[in-house]
Amino acid sequence: MAKYSIIVPAYNEEKSLHFFYDAVTPLFNGLNEEYEIIFVNDGSIDGTKGILKELANQDKRVKVCNFSRNFGQQAALLCGMEHANGDAVIAMDADLQDPPEVALEMIEKWKEGYEIVHGKRRKRKGETVFKRTTAKLFYGFTRKITGMDIQRNSGDFKLYDRKVVNAILSMGEHDRLLRAQAAWVGFKQTCVEFDRPERIAGASHYTVKKMVKLAEAGVFPNTDYTLTLPIKLGLLLGFASVACFIAFIVLALNGIAFGGLTAWLFPTAGALTAVVLVCQGLANIHTSMIYKEVQNRPKYILSDKYNLDE
């Protein structure tokens, strides 16, 4: 019999928690398998903590971690994963925008052998044009710059097999975007599609500042593009300057007048700038290597072993 851990980040969710509990528990009770719900109270300043204490008192399957302040949804998900002991871990928002019946579909996929199941949004109710546009741009840009297959139109509503959770927990970095890490670890992945409803109560907590922070955590730990950019620009500028010199020499040898001595300043300045950019780029490659060491990700991740001890 499998055990499921539902992990739920909650920040000022006093209005939605009872709805969430009342929607999720009957569905999971119906499975006749073991489960736990781990709420991570992300430094809420409303009645969230009191409600969670009440729920935990009346139901031992409800477990609660209270953060000392607001650390953000990604940190809350990490905390949930660290405390989960299920064979499969399902991350869900507290506001019922991740429909619990879709979690059951995810479990079906998991039973078929998939190790990560993404909740993929078909329609997104109640989201502003701004949010939808920035999300689209973010996924397009991040997929391109990191070269990783980050699922489009999926947030953090996902099911992770125990192996995947262990792999993600072995990634040492501080700034995390779980959906990018889910792309990095590999494993057998699939999606279930759903229409995302509006939140059951309250309002979204995602300010532009929080969205920018999330985007940074998706990009910078996953690519050295920005660090290697100067060397690429430097080489480009270097080639352009050399081509310019050659053109000027050819023109001069053929006695064609072209702007005199000052014109030579352009390729000269270009060549010198190219040298600076290339040197900067070389130093950046070193920085990138140091970052990878500090980031301390596993060098590889196993999916299975044969004839070796598990």
What residue ranges bind ligand UDP (CB under 6 A)?
9-11, 13, 42, 70, 72-73, 76, 93-95, 97, 199, 204-206
36 contacts Mg ion (rule: CB under 5 A) = no
- Give the binding-site size for Mg ion (rule: CB under 5 A): 4
Token pair of 97, please?
Answer: 């925008």
User: Which of 37/277 has CB closer to ligand UDP?
Assistant: 37
Residue 95 binds Mg ion (CB under 5 A): yes
Taking the complex as a whole, how short is the minimal distance between the CB of residue 226 and ligand UDP, in angstroms? 26
Query: In 15-94, at which residue ranges do the beta strands (DSSP E only) sit?
Result: 34-41, 62-66, 88-91
Shortest reach from residue 72's CB to ligand UDP, in Å: 5
Q: Which is nearer to Mg ion, 95 or 156 (CB)?
A: 95
Q: Are strands 154-161 and 88-91 parallel, antiparallel or unpaired?
A: antiparallel
The least distance separating Mg ion from the CB of residue 200, rounded to whole angstroms, comes to 9
Which residues, listed in sequence order, are joined to residue 161 by a DSSP beta bridge?
Answer: 88
Residue 12 within binding range of Mg ion, rule CB under 5 A: no
Q: 167 is in the binding site of which of Mg ion, ligand UDP, none (Cβ under 5 to 8 A by kind)?
A: none
User: How does strand 3-10 pair with strand 88-91?
Assistant: parallel
* Beta-carbon count within 10 A of 62 CB: 20
The reply on whether position 73 binds Mg ion by CB under 5 A is no
Residue tagged 């507290």 (tokens): 94
- Taking alpha carbons only, the member of 88, 77, 97 closest to residue 8 is 77
Compute the distance between CA of residue 45 and CA of residue 15 in angstroms, rounded to an integer. 13
> Quick one: 103 or 231, whose CB is closer to ligand UDP?
103
**At CA 230, angle to CA 247 and CA 239, rounded to 5?**
15
**97 contributes a contact to Mg ion by CB under 5 A:** yes
Distance of alpha carbon 246 from alpha carbon 194, whole angstroms: 61
The three-class DSSP label of residue 159 is: strand
CB nearer ligand UDP, residue 13 or residue 161: 13
Which residues inside 195-234 make contact with Mg ion, applying CB under 5 A?
199
Q: Which residues bind Mg ion (CB under 5 A)?
A: 93, 95, 97, 199
